[in-house]
Amino acid sequence: MRSQASKVPLKDRVWKPLLSLVTNETGKSGNAYEDELRATSDVFLKGLFRGLSGNHVLAEAASFAAGKVQYLGVFLEGNAMGLALSDHLTPAKHKRWNTLRSEIETRHPYEIHTALGMALGLFGGKVETTKSMTSLWQWFVVDGLGFQQGLLHPDKFIERRVRTRRSLCVQGSKVFDQGLGRSIWFQAGGDVQRTCETVERFEKERQADLWVGVGVAVSHVGNLSETSLTYLRARADKHAANFAIGIAIGAHVRHLNGTGKEVADNACRIAAGVSAEEAAAIVENAVAAVSGSPTDDIHIRWQGTISQNLRVRTLDR
């Protein structure tokens, strides 16, 4: 018997909700930063639609991503999500996402795995966390799930703050909330006050992980004003270290895919006390440190290592 979700046309389950991210209620531009968010979402959709058609477009990705190198990772994340959805719809050819992963994972490990999590969340695929998850990048599938749930079901997961009912361990729930934190930033349209108020309505034990996600989104999109960055850091308060971790991770994403660390430089200096290049190096060293002894708490140890090094660098300044 077909599920209720499967009876809904694909365009309604995928395209309409995502298209709502690139226009506000009036359909008019708000400000320069909202325009940047909208442009980022638009590039993601381009990659997604190509992937839904089963098109693997790595060779043309750079030029297809609006001709701007800073959007390359966003375009590939959309394409990876589309390919994962396409694999689900035509399971006999369940190789397209894996093919792309084998080609881009070295430089785009975040994007390829968060994209899979977003796809799994959309078609109701099984996502659970187990003690066998000893690869750092596997955890970003859960991050992608949290991001997708927040984007497409904000009333439930953001406004009513419902916890996911999926089979997630404690670490999995924390990673889910980090993805949810990223979605809060996009749902708020980059409005710093609205973002802070939204995070602060959550239970206190969830706020640290939400701030990590906000930091990743802020850093990865980039180009936020110094005034707004300072405001976010101050409002994060006792979770400022978590915000800084997210900022550094966003810089690392751009470092790996070569899409302009300078976009995240101001955020890194204000939130973490280091340059984007230094932040990316701290995260990269943390990846190497935890990958040498893979255990099921690898994601927590990774962020702990990042925090320790950021704290030292901040105090030294």
DSSP 90-153: SGGGTTHHHHHHHHHTTT-HHHHHHHHHHHHHHTT------TT---GGGHHHHHHHHHHHHHH-
Task: Find the domain containing 51 and state its range.
Answer: 4-316
- Name the amino acid, one letter, at 37: L
Query: How many domains does the chain divide into?
Result: 1
Q: What is the structure's pLDDT at 143?
A: 95
In this predicted model, what pLDDT tens digit does every residue of 69-107 receive, in sequence order?
778 888 899 999 998 988 888 876 668 888 889 888 899
Note the Cα 246 to chain centre separation in Å: 10
Question: Tokens 């255990």 appear where?
Answer: 295
Q: What is the structure's pLDDT at 92?
A: 65
- The model's confidence at residue 66, banded by pLDDT at 50, 70 and 90, is low
- Name the amino acid, one letter, at 271: A
In this predicted model, what pLDDT tens digit does every residue of 177-196 receive, in sequence order?
999 999 999 989 889 999 99
Q: What is the structure's pLDDT at 14?
A: 52
Is the per-residue pLDDT at 260 higher than 80? Answer: no
Determine contact, residues 13/122, Cβ cutoff 8 Å. Answer: yes
Mean pLDDT for 49-59 is: 75
Choice between 188 and 53, residue whose per-residue pLDDT is larger: 188
Q: What is the structure's pLDDT at 27?
A: 37
Q: How far is residue 284 from each of residues 104, 154, 185, 252, measured CA to CA in Å? A: 17, 32, 25, 7
Q: What is the structure's pLDDT at 12?
A: 55
**CA gap 230, 190 in Å, rounded:** 14
Work out the mean pLDDT of the chain and round it to a whole number: 82
- The model's confidence at residue 125, banded by pLDDT at 50, 70 and 90, is low
**Helix ranges restricted to H, 222-239:** 226-236
Q: How far is residue 15 from each of residues 19, 65, 244, measured CA to CA in Å? A: 6, 18, 33
Mean pLDDT for 15-39 is: 55
Is the per-residue pLDDT at 21 higher than 80? Answer: no
Choice between 246 and 68, residue whose per-residue pLDDT is larger: 246
Q: What is the structure's pLDDT at 144?
A: 95
Q: Which of 270, 265, 244 is nearest to 70 (CA)?
A: 265
In this structure, what DSSP letter does residue 1 have? -
Written as six digits, the tokens of 30 are 């708000």
**CA gap 162, 263 in Å, rounded:** 34
